[in-house]
Amino acid sequence: MNVLRRASSSWPIVLATMKRSFNTLRISPDPSLAHGIHVFHCPDQVGIVAKISECIASRGGNILVADIFVPHNKNVFYSRSEFVFDPIKWQRKQMNEDFLDLSKMFNAVKSLVRVPSVDPKYKIALLASKQDHCLVDLLHAWQDGKLPVQISSVISNHDRVGNSHVMRFLERHEIPYHYLSKSKNVEDEILGLVEDTDFLVLARYMQVLSGNFLKRYGKDVINIHHGLLPSFKGGNPSRQAFEAGVKLIGATTHFVTEELDGGPIIEQMVERVSHKDNLLSFIQKSENLEKQCLMKAIKSYFFIIHSNLSCSNPSGHNNKIYVHSQFSLLNSLLLEFSSLSNFVFSSV
């Protein structure tokens, strides 16, 4: 992307912008500085990059990473900037006001800003079935501080015994566990439990959520699929792939929509297999891919979505973005950036 075309005639700002790393996260060595993330979506015009830089620099902030994308033959501008700043000199309320002014200047569709160390953690619920490799991986990552969320509950359609490792973990950390059998009212029961969550994660939850559920929940639902979509579906996909003699196995994390396994893809991962693999090693590799793919997708998602306290939205509409219910910035970024092999969509 030609940064010069979008920068104003203010050469100091242009040069400062071009010196930044466009694909590598750098952590500031100064512990007094906080880390912020700004995501911007507006009609394309000259000077956007310069104004974003000026907005941050005028408050003493310093851009670490600037990822910019303008789709070919589309009058649309996307950017994602990571920056450090002094939270005493640039307070959170003032930051929102500054980015709101920037939004109005460029008639932005969305302008999102988040400070992970200050803003509230996202509240999520995990839905799982009998297979628990993804669930266990997420719980251990949360315990180790690698998953910066509040887990409100674990919901399952498989009844686990009280002395299982999952139940002992949940009891130790006081995370509620709800076993809901496959009844006709199960979606109503789930909705009652997840009403105050920010989004849901299906950690190999083997039950289809209806379009009515998605509309009523009104927020994002992230799912891990056992393969590269579109691919092997239904029961026992690993055996299907093994018997078909595939040479690459994979996993796909995607948003849940009314179309089964048809939502926007967030992340995909693959691994090569050969004749040396048996069904057991095949399954082990598949499960490892699923865990890695889901974790990577969730971490990327954390730092793009936003809370009510950290969003500048000039339209005055609801500050939360939900992919399945409307065309959101996140959906746009995922769909547009997926076509760029050299565009780094980094997380923090």
Catalytic positions: 261
Cα–Cα distance measured from residue 3 to residue 19, given in angstroms and rounded to the nearest whole number: 11
Q: What are phi and psi of 344, to 5 degrees?
A: -95, 120
- Judged on CB neighbours under 10 Å (0-12, 13-18, 19+), 38 is buried
Tokens 């906080």, residue? 34
Which phi-psi region, left, alpha or beta, contains residue 316 (left: φ > 0; alpha: ψ -120 to 50)?
left
Residues 6+ apart with CB under 8 A from 135: 126, 128, 154, 166, 203, 204
Cα–Cα distance measured from residue 192 to residue 209, given in angstroms and rounded to the nearest whole number: 15
Question: What is the torsional sign of CA 81, 85, 91, 94?
Answer: negative
Beta bridge partners of 110: 41
- ω into residue 87 within 30 of 0, thus cis? no
- Distance of CA 131 to CAs 28, 45, 79, 156, 317, Å? 41, 50, 38, 10, 40
Cα–Cα distance measured from residue 286 to residue 290, given in angstroms and rounded to the nearest whole number: 6
SS3 286: helix
What is residue 110's DSSP assignment? E
- Distance of CA 314 to CAs 47, 49, 105, Å? 19, 19, 10
